[in-house]
Structure 1
């Protein structure tokens, strides 16, 4: 405890670490963990110019393509490269979680806890001019920031964003709708009596005043209620090639039954679940400014940590897996280092889902991280990995066996 007392952390947090078997010495690495950026594809030739402007050399991350590190005190927000969307900040551990999805051209990907959006941007980078991405988050203001990020980096063409409860979200990729719906949604509007307000046209932030007023009134009415009380998720952004343009609203929100997921589900799903963020050094450092009483409420509250939060994580994981097509892959991650929010959730999930199997992550053999408490799971921490703390597990949905004749 003498060593612990040297850390700028309150006793209650040190006790939290002890109860959860987390070595408090990881927080001594706060001054040595580098900042990471991802270089947007096609900007490799500008590295020299970027280095000259920020007066710092970008160190290539050998184990993660497209990533570079720089000293933690270097600021990039005012750089031309950042403002013009050539680079964006994302921790290398978060990048590893995305890379574990093994995204292929044409994949339809669901990011079930999408805000603040860096991982969503990386997914879209990897897809290029193919497939689609659906981003979901329950916090509207955070998802609005994600929308701004997509527009800044020019990555929103194949993306749609929904404000929704990830534990209950039920929409499939529109590109995988049934042939009947696909045929209908791209037919020209021939009837003058057709209600054109029910057809999605090209998205714009400059909506008519009446529409903005109606949306604001709806948000005000829903402010004191759960977002799930609304009939449909709120679509706050969609790109030109996301499959939404030309679609009737009734078709977008078409109900999906479990039997249909086998041919209409997502190819890949990322569930970077809400957690206590105790593995993130920079997040913990924020409490020095927010106040340690806020840490008590957000991290140390035993009821939230042991029951409510882990129940939420399990529900997010279960629903994400439900929306995955057979043969598809799901990555579950948190930036917590507690076993309760990671391995325990994984084991609980596996017990209740016989069609799920833990998968080896091929890239992990090159990752600077430790094995988790159960096989095929992985843990990044600031001391071992020189990244923020992160837990990663990957699942595959077993194909449905045909019923015997």
Structure 2
């Protein structure tokens, strides 16, 4: 696994099509080159989303940003789609992407369904610019009108908009193992070691805020791109142990269904998955956990 993480030539890139400017010619080309779709393996895969994968480290050249022009595809780590798919989005739902930059998961959310309202939040001002450009590059103007970009501290959104959203994605800041292993800067490495110890506290605070913003009966998905148990399973366990209104959702069956494209490591939690990169399946690392907020009526009966 480490060999894959520290060897960019082994990395693979999935091609997520933009349904608002569909790349028909590219689709034919990818099929001829042996790419296959992710669609066949996932239990609740929306028909409107199409993503092509290759089993080799092939890469399609990225498109440049042009004002007023919609890009036809987005290159991404295929494991990044799993948190989005786990939300099981439907048209008309109110959706919160709590830590949205650079915008790939927001774009993917909009390939799944037409939300009634999508709030893309990012606290870092530089990353907000990146997020806005990504949305402008992929989303047509009529749909942009149902999207709001905010720059709030994610820990404050629950207080600002309690029980507002049907679905919440918390793609939390994490220690990011790919960039960690590739870094040769000793000062940056020392800073990251210090940061690693404080990240679980931030991640827990963001999760609690997301839960507060979630309506009763709604779904929240938590994700990171690290292998760290402290930032993954431990964060989820603390949330489940301290919140009587949150219940885990079993997604363990997905590992068997998606084994063609992804390699999974055990997490000892039925509500979570951990994708680990292997040669030929160089996706991840990606941790995904799925939670549901109890309805008020259910909570009253239980308590």
* Bucket of the pairwise TM-score, normalised by the shorter protein: 0.7 to 0.9
Choose which of 119, 135, 143 in structure 2 pairs with 1:150.
135
The equivalences for 1:234-245 within 5 A come to none
Q: Map 1:1-400; keep pairs closer than 5 Å.
A: 24-25=2-3, 27=5, 30-41=8-19, 43=22, 45-48=24-27, 51=30, 58-61=35-38, 62-63=40-41, 66-70=50-54, 71-72=56-57, 74-78=59-63, 84-128=70-114, 130-155=115-140, 156-170=144-158, 261=163, 265-278=164-177, 280=178, 283-284=179-180, 286-288=182-184, 291-298=185-192, 300-301=193-194, 304-306=195-197, 308-361=198-251, 363-367=254-258, 368=262, 369-383=264-278, 385-400=281-296
Please tell me whether the aligned partners of residues 23 and 72 of structure 2 are also in contact (alpha carbons under 8 angstroms).
no
Distance 1:28 1:145 in 2: 26
Answer whether contact 2:18 2:111 (CA < 8 A) is retained: yes
**Alpha-carbon deviation of 1:274?**
0.5
Cα deviation per residue 1:35-87 (whole Å; 9 max; x = unaligned)?
Answer: 112011262633356659xx955443343651112454635224799x74110
8 A Cα contact 1:371 1:377, kept in partner:
no
Deviation of 1:152 (Å) = 1.3
Distance (whole Å) between structure 2 residues aligned to residue 72 and residue 162 of structure 1: 36
User: What is the TM-score when the length of structure 1 is the normalising length?
Assistant: 0.62
Native 8 Å contact 2:4 2:10 kept in 1: no
Shift of 1:169: 1.6
Separation (CA, whole Å) in 1 of partners of 2:76 and 2:5 = 20
CA pair 140-56 structure 1, distance change in 2 beyond 3 A: farther
Task: Report which of the two structures shows the higher radius of gyration computed on alpha carbons.
Answer: 1
Distance 1:73 1:286, change over 3 A: farther
Deviation of 1:396 after TM superposition, in Å, equals 0.3
Q: Tell me, what secondary structure is at the counterpart of 1:169?
A: helix
Q: 1 CA distance for matches of 2:17 and 2:60?
A: 16
Say which SS state the counterpart of residue 351 (structure 1) adopts.
helix
- 1:152-175 deviation digits (Å, cap 9, x = unpaired): 11252321000110011247xxxx
- Structure 2: gaps (5+ residues): 43-48
The offset of 1:30, in angstroms, is 4.3
**Contact conserved, 2:200 with 2:231, CA < 8 A, in 1?**
yes
On the 8 A contact 2:63/2:71 being kept in 1, the answer is: no
1:82-121 superposed Cα distances (whole Å, 9 cap, x missing partner): x741101221111011000000111110000000000001
Gaps of 5+ in 1: 1-22, 172-254
Q: Matched residues in 1 for 2:51 and 2:121: separation?
A: 25
Work out whether residues 29 and 382 of structure 1, in 8 Å CA contact, stay in contact via their aligned partners in 2.
Answer: no
Extract structure 1 runs of 4+ deviating beyond 6 A.
none
1:168 alignment partner, SS class: helix
Matched residues, number:
280
> Could you say what secondary structure the match of 1:383 adopts?
coil
1:364 and 1:107 mapped to 2: Cα distance?
27
Q: How far off is 1:312 after superposition? A: 0.2
